[in-house]
Amino acid sequence: MISDGEIVLRLILSAIAGGIVGIEREANHSSAGLRTHILVTLGSTLIMLISMYGFQGLGSDNSGGEPARLAAQVVSGIGFLGAGTILRTGNSIRGLTTAASIWVCGGIGLAIGNGYYLGGLTTTIIVLFALRGLGFILKKVFKSQDKLLIVQCKERAGLIGDIGHILGKNNITIKDIKVSSEDNIEEDEDYMIEIRFMVKLPPQLINTSFFDEILNVHGVENATWDGDLEKAYQF
């Protein structure tokens, strides 16, 4: 049986490792950020500790028998959690990277819970490089362009889906969506909203007719590109 201090150390290390990955996802405005990743790694570590040491004194001579059994349940359970972060709009799919980061954080938690510090912490560093470093490199190599599409429109069901379908069929990836509405609207007035799509354009966008398609969507009053992304994307 390991000491109480060792148990606390493993739990703290797993929370730190998950937090490192979570901060990066939080900075990327992901739906699963700092708290989610900490909880995943912390829970995985705890379950590994229970599977290894939690059944001692229950009539078995070993530490609890089969740690791999509970660990396998952790991996499958995290798969469902990761699936909740994936969003499909038209032909665009977003959230896969966050789902993968949640899954690997489960593995990091299991590794640290098992006392495999080198593997767990090394994986944390590699994951951080993959999320941050490779993202920067890919932007430079493929030169995909991030843009902000601002759409003013009348509120109606299915409007965002219609616009998303147009963007998706033109291989334009939706990275984030924010919706704001007017204040102090009278009962007889149309309910106007502003939708901000943070999108990634493909390296070579030949057909630009999609913009006219968006303007022709029922309910759309105006649509513009904004060049100052950082300033414009804050409400």
136 and 165 fall within a common domain? no
106 and 215 fall within a common domain? no
Please provide the distance, in angstroms rounded to a whole number, between the alpha carbons at the two ends of the chain: 53
Write down the pLDDT at residue 94: 67
The count of domains in the chain is 2
47 and 133 fall within a common domain? yes
Here the CATH number for the domain that contains residue 207 is 3.30.70.260
Write down the pLDDT at residue 139: 67
Tokens for 34, please give them: 């700092």
189 and 117 fall within a common domain? no
19 and 113 fall within a common domain? yes
Last residue of a domain, one of 83, 112, 140: 140
Q: In this structure, which amino acid lies at residue 216?
A: N
156 and 135 fall within a common domain? no
* Distance of alpha carbon 57 from alpha carbon 170, whole angstroms: 62
- Domain residue limits at 132: 4-140
Shortest CA distance to 160 belongs to which of 94, 62, 108, 89? Answer: 89
CB atoms inside a 10 Å sphere around CB 67: 20
Write down the pLDDT at residue 79: 73
Looking at the chain, the number of H-run helices and the number of E-run strands are 9, 6
Last residue of a domain, one of 112, 140, 168: 140
Last residue of a domain, one of 140, 171, 195: 140
One-character DSSP codes across 24-66: HHHHTT-SS-HHHHHHHHHHHHHHHHHHHHTTTTSS-SSSSS-
With bands split at pLDDT 50, 70 and 90, how would you rate the model's confidence at 59?
very low
The pLDDT tens digits of the residues spanning 60-115 come to: 444 445 666 777 777 777 777 777 766 665 555 667 778 888 888 988 998 898 88
Sort strands 145-154 and 192-201 into parallel, antiparallel or unpaired: antiparallel
With bands split at pLDDT 50, 70 and 90, how would you rate the model's confidence at 217?
very high
